[in-house]
Structure 1
Amino acid sequence: MSLKDNSLSRQLKTQGIILGSFVAIFWVLEFIDQVIFRGRLDVYGIIPHRLIGLRGILFAPFLHGSFGHLIANTVPFVILGWLVMIQETSDFWIVTLVTMIVGGVGVWIFATPGSIHIGSSILIFGYLGFLLARGYFQRNLASIIISVIVGLLYGGLVWGVLPSAPGISWQGHLFGFIGGVITARLIAKEKQYYR
């Protein structure tokens, strides 16, 4: 095995551990919430316009309303999360942090008072926004190819930023997406600066 193969293998292992850890946290928390707390952990989500609701910016992406909600979020989280990491694993942490803040604050300011917003879809839409915008901002072949592939596979998700069915946090989707686009711009600027 060459040094390059060994480095790629280590990188893939690290990425797998990161994504696996997130998914494990999602599933363990949902199991505990459903079995022990009977769904009462959801109050740690984002509660718009209430000071206590700001704590949800940190907790909401890790909480889900049901196992069905979690199942629906797990696969796109892993696929899009890994695509965010494909060029640099550190991009995942930056996109995740910025998306949580921008998405969470956007939900807290603009969502309906008294509602509770939970779910990793805020991150999924952040990753989607990042991946779609990265090709435009970075203008390198790898980024453009990933943007096109993501657009073909997941472009239909963009409609999730619009109001749809009750109980779905379109605000989380919208502001998560915006957080991802902002991060794509910030990372592209940083990469241009260090060239």
Structure 2
Amino acid sequence: MSTTVDPGWTQLDRAKAAGKLMAGWVALLWLIELVDLATGHALDGYGITPRDPDHLIGVVAHPFLHFGFGHVASNSLPLLVLGFIAALGGIRRFLAVSTLIILAVGVGSWLTAPPNTLGAGASGLVFGLFGYVVVRGFVERKPLNAVVGVGVAAVWGSSIFLGVLPTDSGVGWYAHLIGLAAGVLTAFRHGRPATPAPTPVR
């Protein structure tokens, strides 16, 4: 699927748009957590409650909710950086990719999370964007994006690997694993080189 980009935009314009989008996104997470704190953590209940049909809202709400400012802080930098890199390829494509990852993590966690747990946080999306950014350049066959992907893997690869292992009962490793898989799959879905138009033969 090719990216639709305004032909009048320069790379700097796209970078500014991506930066504003992600700065606003991260700021929104902090604002939501501030509201959550002010309301006695009333928003936490909108997270993912496994296999409870009365709480399906958590499927889409979970990446915007966190359990405290420390939780928000741990997700803010990787979301800002990975989101910015992904959004450089086009805002519409980025939003489509993010939506698919969020839904995959939400539905997957709703189906597979342990009973009596409550899931929230942007980490599933972060893992998904990591998988997308790392794989995208190779699928697109664009050397620069491939180099960026290798750099991202070098910086966050070890943390991502540890994050998908069931070593801590207090961490939703299953959401991380689902997010990572969804990001890789979306890279193949949205990163395919456009098929050139056939040459007319007379």
Same fold (TM over 0.5): yes
User: Are the structure 2 counterparts of residues 61 and 5 from structure 1 closer, same or farther at C-alpha, using a change threshold of 3 Å?
Assistant: same
Report 1:6-85 matches (<5 A).
Answer: 7-34=10-37, 36-85=38-87
Identity of aligned residues (%): 31
- Give the structure with the larger helix fraction: 1
Verify the 8 A CA contact 2:14 2:90 in the aligned structure 1. Answer: no
Distance 1:113 1:101, change over 3 A: same
Assess if the C-alpha contact under 8 Å between 1:117 and 1:169 holds in 2.
Answer: yes
Q: TM-score, normalised by structure 2?
A: 0.87
Query: How far 1:5 sits from its partner (Å)?
Result: 11
Q: Rg bigger for which structure? A: 2
Q: Secondary structure at the match of 1:98?
A: helix
Asked if structure 2 preserves the Cα contact closer than 8 Å seen for 1:135 and 1:143, the reply is: yes
- The correspondence of residues 1-195 of structure 1 with structure 2, limited to 5 A, is 7-34=10-37, 36-156=38-158, 157-189=160-192, 191-193=193-195
- For residues 42-62 of structure 1, give each alpha carbon's deviation from its aligned partner in whole angstroms, at most 9, with x where no partner exists: 110111111123211211100
Deviations 1:142-185 (A, max 9, x none): 22112111111111123211112222111111111111111101
State the SS of the aligned residue for 1:184.
helix
CA-CA distance at 1:88 after TM superposition: 2.7
TM-score by length of 1: 0.90
Of stretches 14-23 and 24-33 in structure 1, the one that deviates more from structure 2 is: 14-23
Q: Structure 2: any 5+ residue segments left out of the alignment? A: 1-6, 198-202
Deviations 1:82-140 (A, max 9, x none): 11123333332122101001111111111112211100111100101111221332222
Instruction: Give the 3-state SS of the residue equivalent to 2:50 in structure 1.
Output: coil
- Answer whether contact 2:124 2:176 (CA < 8 A) is retained: yes
SS at match of 1:192: coil
* Deviation of the 1:194 alpha carbon: 5.8
Alignment check: 8 A CA contact 2:14 2:88 kept: no
- Per-residue CA shift, 1:20-69, capped at 9, x if unaligned? 221121011100101x2222211101111111232112111000001011
Cα pair distance change 1:38/1:133, threshold 3 Å: same
Would you identify which runs of 4 or more consecutive aligned residues in structure 1 move more than 6 Å? none
